[in-house]
Structure 1
Amino acid sequence: MGEVADHTTTPVVRTAGPRDHLGVMRVLDGANLAVDAATVANRIEAGTVVVADHDNRIVGALVAVPRHETGAHVEAVAVRRRRRGQGIGSRLVGAATIRWRPLTANFDPGVKPFYDGLGFD
């Protein structure tokens, strides 16, 4: 018999640490995003991975490539399927825009409304 997931609390958005590597990879793999494990480890070490942590479980992740002195480029952003539509992706991007300026992203036309809503052009 499985446990009922508690989605009523808001995940904590924070910078990822080395212990988060597996959780980040699971979120990215679940979203079919092709970012290899070594790249994610390097980005975590550089401090350019932001995660949404719900009770020590990574439910969302944003991986960025450092650019210039203070800027970054979004390489990947993903949220676990069961947690989509809860504003987690928006919170991850929002946290990234506070940390890195400028923040840039390339995206598929299907997610353009998501980025438009966050102020990207």
Structure 2
Amino acid sequence: MNVREARPDERLAVRSIFDVAMLQVPDLLSMELLVAVEDDRVLGAAAVEADGIGDPGEVHAVAVRPRRRGQGIGTALVAAAEERWDPVVAEFDERVRPFYDALDFEVEATGNGRFRGEKRTDAG
């Protein structure tokens, strides 16, 4: 498996993966998209809002094809985001909090069952 930036022709596959996961990403065209691929098949994707490499990155969605979940693909997508942006932040609901806790994000409640997680990779 390889994680890289999505090609324009992969946007439909990314949208499909997010739709199956019931994740709404209305500004998908303006997002930085990372994909996990194997044999030219998109297995999972992450949509990140960021100004540039090294700047903060806000994860709007991470999703993996249902049959490939639990295989470290989501973890690899977030790790790739951490290599590009600092800090990496995400807002999410309680059902995915264990995912971000396992990735050592600093998580705090924001109210109404929502959470915000942040992970810094720099030394300062």
TM-score w.r.t. the length of structure 1 is 0.81
- Greater relative contact order, per chain length (Cα 8 Å cut-off, separation 6+): 1
Per the alignment, residue 97 of structure 2 pairs with 112
What CA distance in whole angstroms lies between the structure 1 residues aligned with 2:43 and 2:69? Answer: 9
Alignment counterpart, residue 41 of structure 2, candidates 57, 67, 71 = 57
Find the counterpart in structure 2 of residue 84 from structure 1: 69
Equivalent residue for 2:79? Answer: 94
For these two proteins, the number of residue pairs brought into alignment is 105
By how many angstroms is 1:67 displaced?
5.2
Q: What does residue 119 of structure 2 align with?
A: none
> Residue 60 of structure 2 contacts residue 90 of structure 2 at CA under 8 Å; is this kept in 1?
yes
**What percentage of aligned pairs have identical amino acids?**
45
Work out whether 1:42 is the aligned partner of 2:40: no
Q: Distance in 2 between matches of 1:114 and 1:60?
A: 15
Unmatched runs of 5 consecutive residues or more in structure 1:
1-10
Structure with the higher helix share, 1 or 2: 1
- TM-score normalized with structure 2 length: 0.79
Check whether the contact 2:34–2:77 (CA below 8 A) recurs between aligned residues. yes
The structure that is strand-richer by fraction is 2
Structure 2 unmatched ranges of 5 or more: 107-124
